[in-house]
């Protein structure tokens, strides 16, 4: 039944709020809104400032303008190049103007005749004045005069639940819900950060008198997220740094020096620095808890091998866990080649091994003999027992849940932990996400690695690009062609992997051996396809981003990405990293690219191979997004804060958290009661799992 004010509480299921109900609650669930409190913290992702509206008759060509008008006609216009443009004619009391959305024909279903739109963007000449909105909001049947003069919150919405409906639900309950929110921050912390109280901040975010007021409210919510995470990090750091017992590594320079002398290339300065940092940790009286992050091809595996050999020098075992069997097999082969001069062979442990092979591996691990084990989740199965595990290594660590990483750390007597990530993260963000870890950064490429030539091509050059792929295959090379979706959709005017696989197989690449790979392909079949591609029995892999983290195929020299505007820059960088792994010149070709804004973003990508710079640009343009993977169960997520944009707030949050935890590490003081309560409610899972091991 609908809630009255006397019965209202923040943990109440959202369906019982007036104006919601069961059907809308199911739609809100898609937005991670489950309770009344979730609704309150569903903050706008932008604001449309209707306080500076330009009358339509006054809009001039070359001007950026914001207008409010009623849709008097609409339709989808196809062009000779195959682009479909949604157009609508808007009218206010002063006149009419045409608005156009190139490449967005699906808006024909979202915008109806007589809807009132608020639209902002440049006015260009195209058979007269034409507004090309960068941002817009559908006000439905609202009187245009009612919207003018207001700052309109634009919320993340979902199909079946419009921004206007979300705004109405939140507005209806805002005052009653805000009154229930307790202030978690002590006065001195709030004053030092210069942020408003929590109740004022929530009102400013949802009902701002001006855009600058909305920014003040957002800053408070962002500070809270950054501060809470920093408090958790301080607690995790203190726990993780307790002295360990039973392991005291020494640099004996037997295996490690032999490895350095046998390497066919010199270590980079970054590799040498990271090895020193790792060795210092492993030889200290405290347990190592370190993140090694580096760009594609920066040499993380070699650094990890030095750490593993330090463990072996001291009579201990090392285990490297990878997210897929294919990647584990690749690591095993790479390590076997590097270890051959030392007379060592890594032990492979996977779920698909035969009974005899697995029994042999289990026996060696449980015996305690010094060795390097390489495997998948099989390493953390109950049957896998390590006799003397001293170092746990986790590759592509963001692909594992926190529980998986913790489980590997529990296989020994508090072994040192080294997590590795090929997703470059700007240092300011790494210190926030991984504040309980020490961070080593590989920011140099090993000598001799050739850059990948990256070019942008129009959609009309598609056939020409495919003929280039064909010529590369004729030279004995291999290639990837990547699409953003698996199957064609009426809602999206995009090429799809399955459709294009059929078209290419019977068209320009009909004489080549093609394979199709996407997320719906079963794990065993996917591995078989990747092995065949690695072994050279497949010429061209037509795929989705399932290949983003894959195996090394040095013979692959061309990566074609269609509709690159649909991918984040960091995702494009990971895809580009699939080529350029051999001695031959390699190419990354982006086909299409959307409008002018997308083209400018893609030029940033094409102009640099620095993954850290690309990640910084991606975070500025897209926010956190999916940069860190989907399996960080237990890790706090940022809904409002952006550690890149909010760098100054982040510094204040770190300082405040450090000072607070020095005074009251367990948050037992009466003035910290609400803070402790909020941490327990929001981050119960994180408080349990935030520290690995």
Give the domain CATH number at 85.
2.40.50.140
Looking at residues 453-474, what average pLDDT do you find? 94
Tokens for 687, please give them. Answer: 């408080």
Of the candidates 320, 375, 336, 370, the one whose C-alpha atom is nearest the C-alpha of residue 352 is 375
In this prediction, residue 692 carries a pLDDT of 36
Boundary (domain end) residue, out of 442, 475, 510: 442
Q: What's the CA angle centered on 412, arms 409 and 417, to 5 degrees?
A: 35
- pTM here? 0.64
Q: For residues 148 and 161, state if they share a domain.
A: no
d(CA 602, CA 258): 45
Say how many residues make up the chain: 693
pLDDT in tens, 572-602: 988 998 898 888 899 999 998 776 667 888 9
d(CA 583, CA 509): 25
Give the domain CATH number at 376.
3.40.50.300
Q: pLDDT grade, residue 514 (50/70/90)?
A: very high
In this prediction, residue 628 carries a pLDDT of 42
Q: For residues 66 and 29, state if they share a domain.
A: no
Coil, strand or helix: which one is 211?
helix
Element (H, E) at 259: helix 255-262
- Pairing label, strands 129-131, 116-125: antiparallel
Q: For residues 476 and 528, state if they share a domain.
A: yes
Q: Is residue 651 part of a domain?
A: no
Q: For residues 141 and 15, state if they share a domain.
A: no
Q: Is the pLDDT score of 338 beyond 90?
A: yes
- Pairing label, strands 556-562, 586-591: parallel
Of the candidates 136, 205, 214, 123, the one whose C-alpha atom is nearest the C-alpha of residue 171 is 205
In this prediction, residue 402 carries a pLDDT of 61
Distances, alpha carbon 476 to alpha carbons 59, 145, 573, in Å: 58, 66, 25
Domain count, the chain: 4
DSSP annotation string for 586-644:
EEEEEE---SHHHHHHHHHHHT---HHHHHHHHHHHH-STTTT-S--TTSPPPSS--TT
Q: For residues 371 and 493, state if they share a domain.
A: no
Element (H, E) at 332: helix 325-339
Q: Which residue has better confidence, 540 or 65?
A: 540
Strand partners, 75: 87
Q: For residues 457 and 422, state if they share a domain.
A: no
Q: For residues 493 and 538, state if they share a domain.
A: yes
Q: For residues 20 and 90, state if they share a domain.
A: no
- Pairing label, strands 289-294, 416-421: parallel
Q: Is residue 304 part of a domain?
A: yes
In this prediction, residue 548 carries a pLDDT of 64
Chain position carrying tokens 């320079």: 253
In this prediction, residue 596 carries a pLDDT of 66
Share of the chain above pLDDT 70, in %: 88
Q: Is the pLDDT score of 478 beyond 70?
A: yes
In this prediction, residue 113 carries a pLDDT of 92
Where do the H-state alpha helices sit in 101-210?
107-110, 144-147, 163-178, 187-193, 198-206
Query: DSSP code of 5?
Result: G
- Pairing label, strands 540-543, 478-482: parallel
Q: For residues 16 and 53, state if they share a domain.
A: no
User: Buried b / exposed e across 432-448, counting CB within 10 Å, b at 16+?
Assistant: bbbbbbbbbbbbbbbee
Q: Is the pLDDT score of 3 beyond 60?
A: no
Tokens for 298, please give them. Answer: 């920066």
269-282 and 300-313 are packed helices; what angle lies between their axes, rounded to 10 degrees?
A: 30
Tokens for 68, please give them. Answer: 């409010």
pLDDT in tens, 589-639: 999 877 666 788 898 889 988 887 887 777 666 655 444 443 333 344 678
Q: Is residue 384 part of a domain?
A: yes
Q: Is residue 213 part of a domain?
A: no
Q: For residues 435 and 508, state if they share a domain.
A: no
In this prediction, residue 431 carries a pLDDT of 60
Strand partners, 542: 481, 516
d(CA 664, CA 668): 7
Q: What φ, ψ does residue 586 adopt, rounded to 5°?
A: -125, 160
Q: Is the pLDDT score of 269 beyond 90?
A: yes
Q: Is the pLDDT score of 1 beyond 50?
A: no
647-663 and 211-240 are packed helices; what angle lies between their axes, rounded to 10 degrees?
A: 50
Looking at residues 557-564, what average pLDDT do you find? 94
Q: What φ, ψ does residue 317 adopt, rounded to 5°?
A: -105, 155
Q: pLDDT grade, residue 245 (50/70/90)?
A: low
Average pLDDT value over all residues in the chain: 85
Q: Is residue 22 part of a domain?
A: yes
In this prediction, residue 626 carries a pLDDT of 40
In this prediction, residue 168 carries a pLDDT of 87
Q: Is the pLDDT score of 690 beyond 70?
A: no
Q: Is the pLDDT score of 149 beyond 70?
A: no
In this prediction, residue 629 carries a pLDDT of 41
Question: Do 392 and 321 contact (CB within 8 A), yes or no?
Answer: yes
Beta strands in 126-277 (DSSP E): 129-131, 135-138, 151-154
- 109-123, 230-244, 296-310, 673-687, range with the lowest pLDDT: 230-244
Beta strands in 43-150 (DSSP E): 46-49, 64-78, 84-91, 96-102, 116-125, 129-131, 135-138
In this prediction, residue 426 carries a pLDDT of 67
- 262-271, 342-351, 400-409, range with the lowest pLDDT: 400-409
Q: For residues 294 and 402, state if they share a domain.
A: yes
Q: Is residue 290 part of a domain?
A: yes
Q: Is residue 131 part of a domain?
A: yes
Boundary (domain end) residue, out of 588, 608, 628: 608
d(CA 320, CA 373): 6
Q: Which residue has better confidence, 326 or 691?
A: 326
Distances, alpha carbon 522 to alpha carbons 480, 487, 528, in Å: 20, 16, 10
Coil, strand or helix: which one is 97?
strand
pLDDT in tens, 152-163: 788 888 888 888
Q: For residues 38 and 70, state if they share a domain.
A: no
Question: Do 540 and 569 contact (CB within 8 A), yes or no?
Answer: no
Full residue range of the structural domain in which residue 130 is found: 47-154
In this prediction, residue 337 carries a pLDDT of 92
Q: Is residue 250 part of a domain?
A: no
d(CA 102, CA 9): 45
In this prediction, residue 5 carries a pLDDT of 45
Of the candidates 402, 368, 455, the one whose C-alpha atom is nearest the C-alpha of residue 685 is 402
Q: Is the pLDDT score of 427 beyond 70?
A: no
Distances, alpha carbon 192 to alpha carbons 106, 188, 209, 645, in Å: 48, 6, 25, 19
Boundary (domain end) residue, out of 154, 188, 218: 154
Distances, alpha carbon 485 to alpha carbons 214, 495, 509, 517, in Å: 36, 7, 20, 11
């Amino acid at each position: 039944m609908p809630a009255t004010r006397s019965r209202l509480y923040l943990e109440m299921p959202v369906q019982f709020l007036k104006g919601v109900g069961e059907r809308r609650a199911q739609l809100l669930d898609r937005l991670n809104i489950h309770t009344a409190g979730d609704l309150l913290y569903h903050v706008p992702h932008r604001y449309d400032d209707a306080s500076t509206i330009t009358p339509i008759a006054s809009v001039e060509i070359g001007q950026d303008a914001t207008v409010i008008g009623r849709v008097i006609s609409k339709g989808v216009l196809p062009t000779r190049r195959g682009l479909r443009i949604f157009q609508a004619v808007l009218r206010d009391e002063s006149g009419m103007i045409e608005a156009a959305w190139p490449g967005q024909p699906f808006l024909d279903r979202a915008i109806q005749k007589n809807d009132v739109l608020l639209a902002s963007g440049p006015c260009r000449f195209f058979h007269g004045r034409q507004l090309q909105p960068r941002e817009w909001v559908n006000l439905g049947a609202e009187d245009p005069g009612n919207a003018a003069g207001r700052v309109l919150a634009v919320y993340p919405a979902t199909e079946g639940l419009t921004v206007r409906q979300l705004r109405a639900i939140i507005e209806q309950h805002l005052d009653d819900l805000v009154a229930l929110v307790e202030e978690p921050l002590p006065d001195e912390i709030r004053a030092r950060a210069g942020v408003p109280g929590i109740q004022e901040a929530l009102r400013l975010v949802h009902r701002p008198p001006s855009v600058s007021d909305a920014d003040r409210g957002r800053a408070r919510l962002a500070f809270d997220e950054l501060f809470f995470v920093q408090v958790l990090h301080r607690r995790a750091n203190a726990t993780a740094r307790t002295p360990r017992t039973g392991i005291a590594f020494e640099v004996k320079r037997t295996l490690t020096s032999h490895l350095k002398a046998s390497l066919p290339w010199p270590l980079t300065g970054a590799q040498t620095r990271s090895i020193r940092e790792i060795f210092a940790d492993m030889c200290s009286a405290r347990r190592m808890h370190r993140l090694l992050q580096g760009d594609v091809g920066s040499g993380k595996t070699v650094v990890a091998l030095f750490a593993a050999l330090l463990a072996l020098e001291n009579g201990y075992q090392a285990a490297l866990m990878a997210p897929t069997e294919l990647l584990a097999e690749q690591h095993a082969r790479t390590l076997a080649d590097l270890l051959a001069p030392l007379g060592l062979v890594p032990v492979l442990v996977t779920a698909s091994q035969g009974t005899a092979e697995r029994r042999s591996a289990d026996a060696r691990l449980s015996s305690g003999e010094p060795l390097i084990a390489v495997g998948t989740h099989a390493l953390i199965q109950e049957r896998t027992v390590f006799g003397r595990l001293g170092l746990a290594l986790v590759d592509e660590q963001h692909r594992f849940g926190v529980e998986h990483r913790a489980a590997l750390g529990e296989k020994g007597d508090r072994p040192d932990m080294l997590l590795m990530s090929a997703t470059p993260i700007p240092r300011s963000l790494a210190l926030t996400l991984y504040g309980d870890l020490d961070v080593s950064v590989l920011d140099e490429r090993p000598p001799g690695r050739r850059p990948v030539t990256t070019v942008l091509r129009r959609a009309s050059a598609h056939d020409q690009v495919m003929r280039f792929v064909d010529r590369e295959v004729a030279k004995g090379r291999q290639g990837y062609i990547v699409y953003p979706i698996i199957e064609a959709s009426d809602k999206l005017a995009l090429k799809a992997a399955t459709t294009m696989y059929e078209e290419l197989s019977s068209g320009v690449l009909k004489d080549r051996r093609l394979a199709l790979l996407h997320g719906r392909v079963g794990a065993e079949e996917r591995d078989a396809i990747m092995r065949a591609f690695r072994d050279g029995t497949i010429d061209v892999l037509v795929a989705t981003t399932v290949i983003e983290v894959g195996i090394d195929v040095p013979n692959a020299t061309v990566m074609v990405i269609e509709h690159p505007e649909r991918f984040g820059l960091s995702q494009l960088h990971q895809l580009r990293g699939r080529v350029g792994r051999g001695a031959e010149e390699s190419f990354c070709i982006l086909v299409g690219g959307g409008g002018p804004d997308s083209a400018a973003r893609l030029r940033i990508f094409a102009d640099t191979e620095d993954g850290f710079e690309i990640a910084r640009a991606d975070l500025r343009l897209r926010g956190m997004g999916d940069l860190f993977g989907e399996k960080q169960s237990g890790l706090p997520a940022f809904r409002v804060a952006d550690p890149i944009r909010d760098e100054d707030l982040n510094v204040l949050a770190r300082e405040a958290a450090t000072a607070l935890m020095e005074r009251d590490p367990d948050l037992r003081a009466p003035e910290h009661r609400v803070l402790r309560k909020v941490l327990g409610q929001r981050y119960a899972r994180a408080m349990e799992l935030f520290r690995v091991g």
